[in-house]
Amino acid sequence: MKTNTESTNRGMNALEKAHKARSSKRNKMEQVKELKTPQEAFDKLEEYAKNGYASIPDEDKSYFLKCFGIYDRPATPERFMIKLRIPGGFVNAVQAKVIGECAKEYGQNYIDLTTRQQCELRYLKIEDLPSLVRRLKEVGIDAYQTGVDNIRGIMCDPLDDMGFDNVLPSHKILLKLQEQFLYSPEWISTLPRKFNTSISGSLSNRCNILGHDCCFALAQKDGLFGYNLYLGGKVGKIAQNADIFLANEAEVIQAFSSVIELFKRFGFRDNRNKNRLYFLIEAVGMKEMSKAIRENAGVDFASAGETMTKMEYAEPDHGKVQLRDGTFGVHVVVPSGIFSGTAMINAAELSNYYGNGELRLDMEQSFYIMGVKDIDSLLSEDFFKEYKSVNTPYLNHLIACAGTEHCPFGVIENKNDAINMSTYLNEKVPLEKGRVRMYWSACVKGCGIHGLGDIGFEGCKAKIDGENGSGVHIMLGGKLTGNSQEGYTVIKSAPLEYAKYYVESLMLEYKKLKFESENFEQFHDRILGSFTAAKIGFIMMLKAYLQKQNIEVDFGYETRVFTGKNEEFEVFEFGRRLYYQLSKKEPYSSYERFTNTLKSEKLQNIRTLVSGVDENIAQMLDIILHSDERKRAVVFSEITPFIMMYSK
C-alpha cells in the first residue's frame, strides 16, 4: 500500500528524496524538543517566578522558554531578555506606553529596537516575568513564537498604506498570514529552524524585502498588481525568485501556507548550521521547490511578473515624509537602536498630542511618529534634543545589533563601537550632503545585516602584537535597491582602533569625488565598482598610513580606469602612479599592457630621486616596479605589510 508521501507528484518527490538523504541523524535540539511541549514550560512561568531562577530546568532556559521570546542571557547572569512580537513594526501609543513602563519597572529602563521592527526588553528577573507578560497582553502585545524554531515576526513597509509609493496595502495581509500559525500548538517549535517572512506592496524597499526565508514583493503582471514570491533569504544570501506571481490576498495566504507546510515536513533536521529553508532549496533546486508549492497548495499559480519593490528610501535623510492624508511621518533616529523606557513613554505621549497615536518601527532600528500636522512644534520638544529627526549622515542609517554586553554570540561590544566610529567620522570628514548606510554585526551570525550595508562591519578577533582584541571585517557594496545585493570584504580582521582610520580614508575619497547629491551606493557603483576588492582595501590602508606618517601626497581612487578588474595590472599601475607622484618622474620610459616596454631598462632607485622618502614606501615600490618582471609583486597582499600601522 502506498503512503501519502509516495503518491505525491514530482515536486514533492524531489523534496522527499532530499529529506531522506539527510534523515539518518537528528541534531541535539531535535532531541531536546522531544522532552516536553513548549507550552508545558510556559505554563510553569508562575512556578519558576515563585521558586526563583535556580528552579528553571536547563532545557527550558536553553530552548523551551525561547519559543515565547524569553531568553536567558548568560552575559547578564540570572537576567532574561524578552523579544516582543510587533507585526510589521506597527505599535499604537497605548502599547508603546506600556512597553516603556515595563522597561522602566522591570528592565533597568532599557529597550533595544531591532532590525526586524521589534522591541527587546532586557535585564528581566524571572520573578517579574509573569507580571510583565500579563501587562503586555492587556494591550495586545506578546512574545509568542519570536525565538528558536518558529515563524518569527513578519516585516513590512512601515509606511505601508500611508506612503505615497504604496500600491498594495499589505499590513492587513500580514495579520492574516500570522493567523495561519500564531498561538497554534501545531506550529509552536515544530519547524526545523527559524523562519523569517516579509511582505511589501510599496515601490521603496523599507523592510529588507529580500532578506528573508519567504518574501512577498510588489510585482506587476499583465496590467495587474500583486506579489512575486522569493524564497531562501538569510544572512549572506539574498532570496531568489520562485517564479510565482500571486494575484491577490487569497493566493498570498495559500502560497505562504504551502511553503511553511513544506518546510515543516521536508526541512532538514540534522545539522542546525545547514537547515534553513535555503538549504532545502539548494538541495532540490528552485524549479522543483516551486512545483512542490503549487502541488501542495493545489493551485497553479501564475509565473512571476516584474518585481516593483526596487527603489531606495530617503526619508531618514530628510527627517520627515508626507503621507497620503496630508499629514507627515516624522522620523526619529535611534543610533544603534539603544532606546529607553522613558523615551518610549515620551514618544507615545508625543504621538498622541501631535500625531494620530501611531508609531511605526523601521528596519534601521529607528521609527516614525505618524499623522503629524505641526512638525515645528513637535521638533521643539526636549525629546528631539537627544533623538534627532535628522542626525549626521553617519548616524541617520546606522545599524548595530546586540554585542558582547547582551549576546552570547557577540565577539565585539558593537553598539557603542558603531556610534563611536560614526562620531569620529563626523568630526574628521563632515558631510553637508551625502548618505552612507553603515551596518554592524557583532559576529558572523549577522543580526546587524552587515552584508547589506554600504559599509558593513562584522565583528571578529584581531591581533595586535600577538594579543587578540576586538576587530572587524570591513565590507562594501551591499544594496537594498533593485534585487538587493550582498557586499564583499575589502579588509579582514582590522583592529577596531585602526578600522576607523581606514574608513576615514574611504570617506575622504567619497567626499572628494562624489557628485553633489550622490549617495555612497551610487559613488560605489560609479567609482569603486571599477576596482578589485583587494585594491579598494589596500588604498584605504595606504591612505591611513600616509596620513599617520605625515606623507603629503594626493593619492586615491582614479576616476578613469583602464586596468579592468585585473589585480596584477592594478598593482603595477598603482606603483607607477605613486612613483610619479613622489618623484615627478615616470619609472620607465614607455609601457604596454601595464608593464615596461623596454625589458633592458633599469628602474632608478626612488631614494636617489626623493630625499628622505619613507623607507617602507621605497621598499614597496622596489618590489612593485622591479626591473626583473619575475620578481615583481602581482597581488596587493604581497605589499600590504609595508603599510601596516601595527604588528600582528
> CATH code at 183?
3.30.413.10
In one letter, which amino acid is 527?
I
* 3-state DSSP assignment of residue 321: strand
CA distances to 177, 355, 480, 481 from 204, in Å? 22, 23, 9, 8
- Whether residue 290 is contained in a domain is answered as yes
pLDDT at 208 over 60: yes
pLDDT at 279: 98
- Whether residue 328 is contained in a domain is answered as no
CB 459 within 8 A of CB 407: no
C-alpha cell at 59: 532545557
Q: How confident is the model at residue 11 (pLDDT cuts 50, 70, 90)?
A: confident
CA proximity to 238, closest of 294, 198, 191, 192: 198
191 & 297 share domain:
yes
pLDDT at 41: 97
Q: How confident is the model at residue 178 (pLDDT cuts 50, 70, 90)?
A: very high
pLDDT at 115 over 50: yes
Q: What is the rounded distance in angstroms from the CA atom of residue 248 to the CA atom of residue 268?
A: 31
172 & 291 share domain:
yes
pLDDT at 554: 87
Q: How confident is the model at residue 206 (pLDDT cuts 50, 70, 90)?
A: very high
- Whether residue 3 is contained in a domain is answered as no
Q: What's the number of domains the chain is made of? A: 4
- Whether residue 349 is contained in a domain is answered as no
- Backbone torsions φ then ψ of 545, nearest 5 degrees: -65, -45
C-alpha cell at 487: 557586499
66 & 17 share domain:
no
pLDDT at 314: 87
- Whether residue 608 is contained in a domain is answered as yes
- Whether residue 289 is contained in a domain is answered as yes
124 & 231 share domain:
no
* 3-state DSSP assignment of residue 217: strand
Q: For the residues 310-330, what does the mean pLDDT come to?
A: 94
The dihedral region occupied by 236, where left means phi > 0, alpha psi between -120 and 50, and beta the remainder, is left
177 & 129 share domain:
no
410 & 476 share domain:
yes
Last residue of a domain, one of 264, 284, 307: 307
- Whether residue 340 is contained in a domain is answered as no
Sort strands 438-441 and 455-464 into parallel, antiparallel or unpaired: parallel
pLDDT at 484: 93
Q: For the residues 537-566, what does the mean pLDDT come to?
A: 95
491 & 612 share domain:
no
303 & 175 share domain:
yes
In one letter, which amino acid is 582?
L
The model's pTM? 0.96
pLDDT at 365: 98
Q: For the residues 257-268, what does the mean pLDDT come to?
A: 98
In one letter, which amino acid is 440?
W
Q: Determine which helix (DSSP H) or strand (DSSP E) holds 119, and give its type and residue range.
A: strand 119-124
For residue range 420-469, what is the model confidence (pLDDT) as tens digits? 999 999 999 999 889 999 999 999 999 999 999 999 999 999 999 999 99
225 & 303 share domain:
yes
Q: Give the largest Cα separation in the chain, rounded.
A: 91
Q: What is the rounded distance in angstroms from the CA atom of residue 187 to the CA atom of residue 522?
A: 43
CB 526 within 8 A of CB 560: no
Q: Determine which helix (DSSP H) or strand (DSSP E) holds 624, and give its type and residue range.
A: helix 615-624
pLDDT at 3: 38
pLDDT at 406 over 60: yes
457 & 585 share domain:
no
CA proximity to 246, closest of 151, 165, 173, 195: 173
Last residue of a domain, one of 276, 307, 338: 307
Q: What is the rounded distance in angstroms from the CA atom of residue 439 to the CA atom of residue 449?
A: 6
pLDDT at 141 over 50: yes
pLDDT at 63: 97
pLDDT at 648: 87
Q: For the residues 213-231, what does the mean pLDDT come to?
A: 98
43 & 101 share domain:
yes
Sort strands 119-124 and 80-83 into parallel, antiparallel or unpaired: antiparallel
Q: For the residues 407-431, what does the mean pLDDT come to?
A: 97
Last residue of a domain, one of 249, 279, 307: 307
For residue range 568-612, what is the model confidence (pLDDT) as tens digits? 999 999 999 999 999 999 999 999 999 999 999 999 999 999 999
Q: For the residues 103-112, what does the mean pLDDT come to?
A: 98
- Those residues with Cβ within 8 angstroms of residue 21's Cβ, 6 or more apart along the chain or in another chain: 283
The dihedral region occupied by 465, where left means phi > 0, alpha psi between -120 and 50, and beta the remainder, is left
Q: Determine which helix (DSSP H) or strand (DSSP E) holds 348, and give its type and residue range.
A: helix 341-354
pLDDT at 8: 45
pLDDT at 411: 97
- Whether residue 351 is contained in a domain is answered as no
Q: Give the domain extent around 403.
A: 399-526
For residue range 478-529, what is the model confidence (pLDDT) as tens digits? 999 999 999 999 999 999 999 999 999 999 999 999 999 899 999 999 999 9
515 & 411 share domain:
yes
